[in-house]
Chains A and B, each alone.
Chain A
Amino acid sequence: MYYQTPSVDKYVTKVIKYRMSILLFFLFTFSVIVFAYKPQFILSDDIYWLKESQQSEKGQTQTTDALMLSKIQVHVEELSPLVQKKLQDLHEKLEKSEKIDRVLSLFSHKIVQKDKTNNESSMLGVISIGSLESYEMKHFINELSNPNEKFVEDDFHTFNFFLYSKDKIEFSKIDILFPHVIETIEENMILENYLSYFIVLLFIFVIVFRVLFSNLLSSVSAIIAILLTTTFTFSIIYFLLGKEDIYIAFPFISMSIALVDYLFFYYRWHVSQYTANNQKALIKMLNRNLSPAFWTLFVATSALGSLLFIDSNIIRTLSLSVILTSIIGYVVNLTFLPALLSFFHLKHAYIPFNKICSLLAITGMNYNKKYLLSFLITTFLLIVIGANQIYDKSSHFFDIKISDDPLVINIPYKKIDVDLIHSIEMFSKDLEEAFPDNIEEIVKSLTTMVYEFNEGNSQTTTLNTQALEQTLFYMDLYGVSEEYYNKNYIKVTILPDELNKQELINWLINYKKLDINFIDRGTLINNAMHEKTLLLSVSLFSALVVLGLFTGWIFRSYPMVFVGFIVNTIPIVWFGLAIKVLNIPLSIELLVAMTIVVGLASDASVHFFFKYFRSRYFGRTKKHSLEKMFFYSGIPVIFGSLILIVIFLLLTLSPVEALQDIGIYSASLITLTLISDVVILPIILLSFTFADININKIPNNVAKK
């Protein structure tokens, strides 16, 4: 408990005695892991979301079957016959490429040449739009402007080619003869690139530490402790979950929590350097941090441990990252760090922040109750509104990255018959009725093709089985079948035009008359995000509630349940408001940032409470207790947060979008958490510990100093 001071003298003596062995053990273990475990850093969180997608499970036997959508936008000076021929050639070249499953462009449009005559010699024909004369093609496109405007701009200077592929397309191997722009997903990042970027970050890290602590030891030992904790954490995750791929944002969770954990220990050692005896500094470092760090670990493990049983890869990985980092960080700070620091003694260990701590304490003492009450009421209102929005599935709390690219869906079938054609026709009609202003001739499917063929076929009248068989035969003959169906699925292309694609996707998901499968990754990912929003939010909320409950239990005080809950919730809730106002899309980067904050906030709050309660117990005044709380727990939190804010802000300069996002989200959230910890936490603590610390509850055998 907070009033106990564990005896660590013997432990420290043993650590000093075996310090070389301890250091070598860590070095050896680290080397073995680095040699055996070669993680692959991935830049896209798609794989994680795809594995979460129920639609993906429904539509695919393997989630990796989902297709990636890339786009080539080609610009031409003038649509001359030669240019038209080259564009047609490009389409054919893309179609022939082994890695590309499907190409959608103006040139995939086929025209059925009507068998208009009743001549005794005639045959249904199919030609590509590219084989028309340029003026005919323009005329044709203008006639059918709606479906084709996705593929060609009105001025006939810009042509879009949409490519569906299972894997990344090597565009460098495709000879595109025109000026063009390629839009695709960068998936993998070479480890060397990642490391080189990290070297720059490390350099800045050293400078910031040098400014704050006026030595090199703090930064070097921090880097080693963080490296060990992060490496061990992810190798254990790999061992438990068997995943070699690490999404680039995940290590930041481990690094951030490890840094702040390290700072509590190092800082206490640093400010205890006034004594000439280094062993005493080590004893202070351990006996003052052993309990709060343990309770932090306990709280984090309890709050996030239950989330490990949720069937979600993302939640499991995020929770495991925090729990393992806390455990390993604790072990590293209790063994490796004292062993390393025992070699050093600082001559100038002055920390010039006493005045700031006093100032913060005075500000905290003189808070205005009305402001606090208004703030808390507003926060509660935000929680209620946010919870309502997330629970109500019809409204979407998180914005979703939506493009107006063509939407391709698959409809599984056992046999292509007239009934199936009619049900797809009914689907098109239902879609038109659901979106009367937006959908007009924008569904391309086997049904549209069958009717076009049948209309032109002078051999058949109404669409019956024979007419359908003939159509399918002609489609085979002219090589267009592949575009509309394969042996398992009918392929339907929807070309959304100025409509809310998310509404369209929801409508498709809820359409019961046909079994609809989404195949492109973007749509599957969006669905997974929507499907998981409630689960992710409930997980986060339950973690915060558990955090509050354990805080109350640790400090044997009911009001502390509320304090523990609200202090950790405030930054998340206000960040949630920012997300909503700024329409920030849901992403793993956002979840990672929130996980970092839950980890950091729980660390900070337990350390703050511990120090405050302890000081009060030993008879300090409220003001003095706040000062001590700020000096011993506040400074590491402020230093840690400032270092993390600088590092995360630097990430926003990275060329990688995932790193930019994690940078901006984490920097903003950590800033909010810091403000909450420094400004709001002390006054909530003062307001809700009404009866002060009840000394009668403390066992008599606990020695008072």
Chain B
Amino acid sequence: MKIFIFICLITTQALFSSVTKHTMLPYTEMHSLFNSVDSYAIKMGDGKKKVFVFLDPKCKFSRKFMKKVNENPYMLKKYQYHIFLYEIPRLNTNNLIHYVYQSKTPLKELKRIMLENNKPSFKEDFTSQTKGMVASIKEIATKLSVHKRPYIVVAEDNNGEN
């Protein structure tokens, strides 16, 4: 019986621990979706090439991504980052995301949280506009099957260089 359970466990592990590849939409479709929420994007960098990226402010890999980009002038010069904040449910960052979007300087606030580990205190009286923004981003993220953070999509148009 023990052997049977062991084999079952091994098989289950083998079947479900393999890399799950998520199919991405064609870029033209992704592009129109991003366009619909582009005004909500927090923009960083001056480059010609657009990078759409979904982050969670508390996700350690999202923070690593922000840190690596922010400390690299080349990456800020070559690319322009259109950042969308999208919650990882277990990190419970929905209110924090609302707070960032509602602040007057979302990029500055986001950097303080993600790069300086600042833990802001705020009231949860978010405007309907902010709620609408977060909801729209969530809706787009679902359509795009955003399954991890950071989730990046690099613009495929001819802007920018390789």
Contact = CB atoms under 8 A, between A and B. Distances in A.
Interface of A: 114-123, 415-416, 458-461, 465-466, 469-470, 472-473, 476-477, 479, 485, 487
Contacts, number: 79
Contacts of A476: 74-75, 78-79
Contacts of A472: 154, 162
Given A458-B147, A473-B79, 14 more contacts: A116-B19, A120-B147, A121-B61, A121-B149, A122-B61, A123-B65, A458-B22, A459-B22, A466-B154, A469-B154, A469-B156, A470-B152, A472-B162, A487-B162
Contact of B56 (A121, A461, A465, A469): A121
Contact of B59 (A118, A121, A473): A121
Nearest to B27: A466
A224 to B, nearest CB: 64
Contacts of A122: 61, 148
Interface residues of B, number: 37
Contacts of B91: 121
Top 5 A-B pairs, shortest CB-CB distance: A469-B154, A118-B20, A123-B61, A416-B162, A461-B21
A119 B148 contact: yes
A458 B154 contact: no
B131 interface: no
A319 B60 CA distance: 72
Given A469-B156, A470-B152, A487-B161, A120 B68 contact: no
A123 B150 contact: yes
B151 interface: yes
Contacts of A117: 19
Interface string B67-85: 0110010110011000000
B148 A121 contact: yes
B89 to A, nearest CB: 8
A472 B69 CA distance: 14
Interface in B20-53: 20-24, 27, 51
Contacts of B151: 459
28 contacts: A115-B19, A118-B19, A118-B147, A120-B148, A121-B56, A121-B61, A121-B149, A122-B148, A123-B61, A123-B64, A458-B147, A459-B24, A459-B151, A459-B152, A460-B21, A461-B21, A465-B27, A466-B154, A469-B156, A470-B152, A472-B162, A473-B79, A473-B154, A476-B74, A477-B68, A477-B69, A477-B72, A485-B162
Given A123-B150, A466-B27, A476-B74, A458 B21 contact: yes
Residue from B69, B153, B155 with most neighbouring chain A CB atoms (10 Å): B153
Nearest to A462: B21
Interface in B109-162: 147-156, 161-162
A123 B61 CA distance: 6
Residue from B20, B22, B150, B152 with most neighbouring chain A CB atoms (10 Å): B152
Nearest to B153: A466
Nearest to A485: B162
B65 to A, nearest CB: 6
B59 A465 contact: no
B58 to A, nearest CB: 9
Contacts of A466: 24, 27, 153-154, 156
A594 B62 CA distance: 70
A455 to B, nearest CB: 9
Nearest to B60: A121
Interface in B80-104: 88, 90-91
Nearest to B64: A123
Contacts of B72: 477, 479
A577 B88 CA distance: 78
B88 A458 contact: no
Contacts of B22: 458-459, 461
Nearest to A460: B24
A415 B27 CA distance: 18
B152 A458 contact: no
